[in-house]
Amino acid sequence: MLRKESSAVLLVCAVFSLTVAGVARAAEGDAPDVQTIVTRANIVAYYQGDDGKATVKMTITSKAGQTREREFIILRKDVVDGGDQNYFVYFQRPSDVRRMVYMVKKHVGEGKDDDRWLYLPALDLVKRVAASDKRTSFVGSDFVYEDVSGRGLDQDTHELIETTDAMFIVKNVPKKPEEVEFSYYTVAIDRKTYVPTKMDFYDKQGQLYRVIESKDVKVIQDLPTVTRSVVKDLKTGGQTEMEFTNVQYNVGIGDIFEERYLRRPPREAMR
Amino acid sequence: MIVFRRIVPIHIRTVVLLAMTCSAIVVAQDEQVKSDPVREFFERFDTEYHGFYEARAGYRLQNDPDEKDMSIMEARYQFDLFSMRDWGDIKVKGDVYGDGVEEKGVFDLREANLFMRPTDSMDVKLGRQVLTWGTGDLIFINDLFPKDWQSFFIGRDTEYLKAPSDAVKVSFFMDWANLDVAYTPEFDSDRFISGERLSYWNPVLGDRAGEDNTMSVERRREFLEEDELALRLYRNIRNYELALYGYWGYWKSPGGFNEAMTAAVFPDLYVYGASIRGTVGKGIGNAEIGYYDSVDDRDGDDFLINNSEMRYLVGYTQEIARDFTAGVQYYVEQMLDYDDYENNQPAGMPKRDEFRHLTTLRLTKLLMNQNLSLSLFTYYSPSDEDVYMRPIANYKASDHLAVEIGGNVFFGDETHTFFNQFHNNTNAYLAVRYSF
């Protein structure tokens, strides 16, 4: 949305969120400050459009070379740009988790936990999932929950440590280091598109141990979109590739984030 | 359930099981096998075909004078067909298995239903289906859909605890609340413990009994006459899920005896209840209550029929460390009209307590990139002084192949209590499943 810098779009943004409008204005200047950069990168990475849909294929490869696959359809609808949003994940592979649904109502803000539900079709069971450590592996992959749904900007302090021809390099230090396994991470953000292209995580000893790279970026409906990203865990030797296909924005996702659709997803979530 | 007696000759069954297991493993390791003619056949009709092959073997860990040593021995194939049409969805899921303990072949149709979304505010599901609601974890107050306790205790997959209903479920979605109506035209009882596979406390004999003394039961089979109606009215307020429930039917497992005491019966039962579930602190809390109106013994003075009861449940689940979740529940069954029950109970019969207290603890730890799951579910009743433990270790060796080891452990003080009556059935099992 922000890339179309027409005044009409700006006006819509301003109505929804003053922060976002502020970001857009600042982006027109020459030297955006670090808060502007991370806010805009967060929008590009997690809040493109008002809603979005994609088919995600994950390939998890162990150090020994054994692979496992996960395939799911993910639907997202933003409640507030840069703030709360809802996710609906419909699993297709592997077959033992097929037709399972995972639903998250993400809440952004200090001390707010997400609401999560899981539907198990064989038992017709709607389970409430206890809000968990967001640094936990997502479906057994090398990605953690925060990689998939975003890490709250207010959880880190941000510092612009380098500006190259193409990238802003931002260093992020957690405000509560005891809650995470890293001491800090750096993000390389594309100066033109604000797409985060590489994240390097350093452990408590200052050693690089985890790298996430955006391998393919496509422009879909005028919105720059990461369509392939890879995370490598340098300690375990494992890696996971995540590939997005059938990406669509502003599809008009309705109020599907409720029990009715957990038990029977809407058609658009199933194919 | 359709049963084919002795289609699996007794001496071949172990060989068949082993062969199935080995072939499943071979297929699983041969990742090149991608084309499946059966799947291709169904895809031609826009139908998804999935399922699994499974071998499961288990033994009692002690001698049971009333049952075989073998607690479970089966080779199972499940097919799952699903087709989305313009007007709705069709689902058919069934299990075919050779049962080495009972020496028979079984076809168990688990689901065969049509789903339609005729208007924006209405869903309909018609046919054989698995139905679940309520907030308890392996404790059910307002979920009066049929359970298969036999499968649960002998070590089948937890999926089989829920037996299917032949029902129509209509859901209405309104601004102020949602309403589910589940109508079962012919009473679907639990697949209860009858002595066939598990030794149990037989109150008529006043002793534990097994396959030689299976419980005789007067079934209810009058279509449209002996029916069940279950309602749930629910809404979500700021992510707290509130629900009211009603049920008009029968005790799901035998809740009494006929006058000659020759057969167990399913007396009339109405249930009214409520529940709430939502975030509490760092975890999820739930509370549920139900009033069991035992219509045929409202005064509580008929010793042959269950008294009315109140049932209460509170629970809490929290992730206590990374990939390690703990859940606790406290559950109480309160017999109403207890004085009448006591005064009318024949001498010599063990008396129930007025209050049955039950606690549960679930611990689940995921390891090895969440491919290994270790879980322990424990029921402990301080009033019955008995315990039931379900340890399960499940390892996903690949996307298709899973291996599971588990057990069902019962112990306690008195032979007739709810869990300790099954003491001699304490068993351990091993299963291999290939999913496709």
Reported as a single tens digit per residue, the pLDDT across A81-100 is 989 999 999 999 999 899 99
How many angstroms from the chain centroid is the CA of residue B49?
Answer: 25
Q: CB-hemisphere CA count at 13 Å for B34?
A: 1
Tell me if B369 and A124 make a contact (CB, 8 A cut-off).
no
Which residue range forms the structural domain that includes residue B83?
A: 2-435
pLDDT score recorded for residue A235: 95
Of A99, A123, A129, the CB nearest to B162: A123
Query: In chain B, which residue's Cα lies nearest the Cα of A104?
Result: B239
> Do the beta carbons of residue B286 and residue B276 sit within 8 Å?
yes
pLDDT score recorded for residue A49: 93
Tell me if A124 and B234 make a contact (CB, 8 A cut-off).
no
Q: Is the pLDDT of residue B8 over 80?
A: no
Of A94, A133, A135, the CB nearest to B399: A94
User: B36 CB near a chain A CB, below 8 Å?
Assistant: no
> Do the beta carbons of residue B171 and residue B182 sit within 8 Å?
no
A26: pLDDT confidence band, cut at 50, 70 and 90?
very low
The type of residue at B411 is F
| Best residue of A91, A106, A124, A143 to probe chain B, by most B CBs closer than 10 Å | A124
Between CA B241 and CA A262 the distance in angstroms is 14
User: A154 CB near a chain B CB, below 8 Å?
Assistant: no
Peptide bond just before B185 cis, omega within 30 deg: no
User: B235 CB near a chain A CB, below 8 Å?
Assistant: no
Q: What is the CATH number of the domain that holds A240?
A: 2.50.20.10
Tell me if A123 and B369 make a contact (CB, 8 A cut-off).
no
Between CA A137 and CA A133 the distance in angstroms is 9
pLDDT score recorded for residue B5: 59
Q: Is the pLDDT of residue B319 over 70?
A: yes
**How many contacts (CB atoms, under 8 Å) link A and B?**
97
Tell me if A140 and B370 make a contact (CB, 8 A cut-off).
yes
> Which residues have C-beta within 8 Å of that of residue A66, sequence separation ≥ 6?
B398
Tell me if A130 and B317 make a contact (CB, 8 A cut-off).
yes
| Averaged pLDDT for residues A104-116 | 88
Tell me if A140 and B130 make a contact (CB, 8 A cut-off).
no
| Averaged pLDDT for residues B301-329 | 95
Query: In chain A, which residue's Cα lies nearest the Cα of B235?
Result: A259
Task: Convert the pLDDT of each residue in A237-247 to its tens digit.
Answer: 999 999 999 99
Beta bridge partners of B49: B81
What is the SS3 assignment for B167-233?
A: EEEEEEECCCCEEEEEEECCCCCCECCCCCCCCEEECCCCEEECHHHCCCECCCCCCCCCCEEEEEE
Percentage, residues of chain B above pLDDT 70: 92
Of B158, B284, B371, the CB nearest to A140: B371
Between CA A263 and CA B182 the distance in angstroms is 15
Minimal Cα–Cα distance from A223 to chain B, Å? 32
What is the SS3 assignment for B5-20?
A: ECCCCCCCHHHHHHHH
Task: Convert the pLDDT of each residue in B121-130 to its tens digit.
Answer: 999 999 999 9
Query: In chain A, which residue's Cα lies nearest the Cα of B320?
Result: A132
Q: Is B400 helix (H, G, I), strand (E, B) or coil?
A: coil
Residue written as tokens 């707010």?
Answer: A112
Q: Token pair for residue A252?
A: 């008009």
Which residue range forms the structural domain that includes residue A101?
A: 7-270
Q: Is the pLDDT of residue A110 over 90?
A: no
Q: Is the pLDDT of residue A14 over 50?
A: no
**Of B23-37, B87-101, B257-271, B332-346, the least confident:** B23-37
User: A191 CB near a chain B CB, below 8 Å?
Assistant: no
pLDDT score recorded for residue B25: 56
Residue written as tokens 């297991």?
Answer: B21
Q: Is residue A1 part of a domain?
A: no
Of B84, B159, B369, the CB nearest to A122: B159
Tell me if B325 and A130 make a contact (CB, 8 A cut-off).
yes
Q: Is the pLDDT of residue A205 over 60?
A: yes
| Averaged pLDDT for residues A35-57 | 94
User: A66 CB near a chain B CB, below 8 Å?
Assistant: yes
Query: In chain B, which residue's Cα lies nearest the Cα of A238?
Result: B369
Q: Is the pLDDT of residue A9 over 90?
A: no
Which residue in A243, A214, A251, A189 sits closest to A56, CA to CA? Answer: A243
**Burial category of B275 from C-beta neighbours within 10 Å (exposed 0-12, middle 13-18, buried 19 and up):** buried
Which residue in B232, B197, B196, B231 sits closest to B216, CA to CA? Answer: B196
User: A237 CB near a chain B CB, below 8 Å?
Assistant: no
> Which residues have C-beta within 8 Å of that of residue A156, sequence separation ≥ 6?
A172, A173, A174, A175
Minimal Cα–Cα distance from A255 to chain B, Å? 11
Q: Is the pLDDT of residue B24 over 60?
A: no
State the average pLDDT for chain B.
Answer: 92
B29: pLDDT confidence band, cut at 50, 70 and 90?
low
Q: Is the pLDDT of residue A7 over 50?
A: no
A57: pLDDT confidence band, cut at 50, 70 and 90?
very high
pTM of the complete model: 0.89
A22: pLDDT confidence band, cut at 50, 70 and 90?
very low
Percentage, residues of chain B above pLDDT 90: 81
Chain B residues with CB-CB distance to A138 below 8 A: none
| Averaged pLDDT for residues B6-16 | 52
Q: Is residue A2 part of a domain?
A: no
Between CA B102 and CA B10 the distance in angstroms is 10
**Of A158-172, A209-223, B200-214, B370-384, the least confident:** B200-214
Q: Find the helix packing angle between A7-16 and A18-28, rounded to 10°.
A: 140
A112: pLDDT confidence band, cut at 50, 70 and 90?
confident
B260: pLDDT confidence band, cut at 50, 70 and 90?
confident
Tell me if B84 and A69 make a contact (CB, 8 A cut-off).
no
pLDDT score recorded for residue B45: 87
Which residue in A17, A30, A1, A13 sits closest to A191, CA to CA? Answer: A30
Which residue in B272, B283, B279, B297 sits closest to B240, CA to CA? Answer: B279
**Of A61-70, B2-11, B149-158, B343-352, the least confident:** B2-11
The string of DSSP codes covering chain A is -TTS--HHHHHHHHHH-HHHHHHHHHHHSSS--HHHHHHHHHHHHH--SSEEEEEEEEEEE-TT--EEEEEEEEEEEESSTTS-EEEEEEEEESGGGTT-EEEEEE--STTPPPEEEEEEGGGTEEEEEPP--TTSBSTTSSSBHHHHH---GGGEEEEEEEE-SSEEEEEEEESSGGGSSEEEEEEEEETTT--EEEEEEEETTS-EEEEEEEEEEEEETTEEEEEEEEEEETTT--EEEEEEEEEEE-----S--SHHHHHS--HHHH-
Minimal Cα–Cα distance from B157 to chain A, Å? 11
What does each C-alpha distance from B32 to A63, A104, B26, B153, B209 come to in angstroms?
Answer: 21, 36, 11, 38, 51
Query: In chain A, which residue's Cα lies nearest the Cα of B372?
Result: A140
Q: Is B22 helix (H, G, I), strand (E, B) or coil?
A: helix
B21: pLDDT confidence band, cut at 50, 70 and 90?
low
Q: Token pair for residue A125?
A: 């069971």
pLDDT score recorded for residue A27: 46
Between CA B212 and CA B306 the distance in angstroms is 26
Chain B residues with CB-CB distance to A105 below 8 A: 239
Query: In chain B, which residue's Cα lies nearest the Cα of A133?
Result: B322
Instruction: Return the C-alpha torsion angle B3, B8, B14, B20, nearest 10.
Output: -80
Q: How many CB atoms lie within 10 A of CB B132?
A: 15
Question: What does the buried/exposed string (b/e) look like for B201-236 if buried means 16 or more CB atoms within 10 Å of the residue's CB?
Answer: bbeeeeebbbbebebebeebeeeeebbbebbbbbbb
Q: What is the CATH number of the domain that holds B328?
A: 2.40.160.10
| Averaged pLDDT for residues A212-236 | 96
| Cβ within 8 Å of A, B 79-118 | 82, 84, 89, 115, 117
Task: Convert the pLDDT of each residue in B163-173 to its tens digit.
Answer: 999 999 999 99
Which residue in A184, A193, A237 sits closest to A214, CA to CA? Answer: A193
Q: What phi, psi does B43 have (nearest 5°)?
A: -65, -30
**Of A184-193, B26-35, B335-344, the least confident:** B26-35
> Which residues have C-beta within 8 Å of that of residue A45, sequence separation ≥ 6?
A150, A195, A196, A226
Instruction: Return the C-alpha torsion angle A113, A100, A214, A156, nearest 10.
Output: 10
Chain B residues with CB-CB distance to A122 below 8 A: 130, 159, 162
Minimal Cα–Cα distance from A124 to chain B, Å? 5
pLDDT score recorded for residue B32: 46
Q: Is the pLDDT of residue A176 over 80?
A: yes
Between CA B273 and CA B242 the distance in angstroms is 11
| Averaged pLDDT for residues A179-187 | 95
pLDDT score recorded for residue B22: 53
Strands B268-280 and B283-293: antiparallel
Minimal Cα–Cα distance from A228 to chain B, Å? 22
Query: In chain A, which residue's Cα lies nearest the Cα of B236?
Result: A258
Chain A residues with CB-CB distance to B117 below 8 A: 264
ipTM (interface predicted TM): 0.91
User: A264 CB near a chain B CB, below 8 Å?
Assistant: yes
CA angle B286, B288, B292 (to 5 degrees): 165
Q: Is the pLDDT of residue B217 over 70?
A: yes
Chain B residues with CB-CB distance to A93 below 8 A: 399
| Averaged pLDDT for residues B132-155 | 97
User: B162 CB near a chain A CB, below 8 Å?
Assistant: yes
Tell me if A130 and B322 make a contact (CB, 8 A cut-off).
no
**How many structural domains does chain B have?**
1
Between CA B358 and CA B377 the distance in angstroms is 13
pLDDT score recorded for residue B23: 59
User: A113 CB near a chain B CB, below 8 Å?
Assistant: yes
Between CA B200 and CA B216 the distance in angstroms is 13
DSSP state of B295: G
Chain A residues with CB-CB distance to B148 below 8 A: none
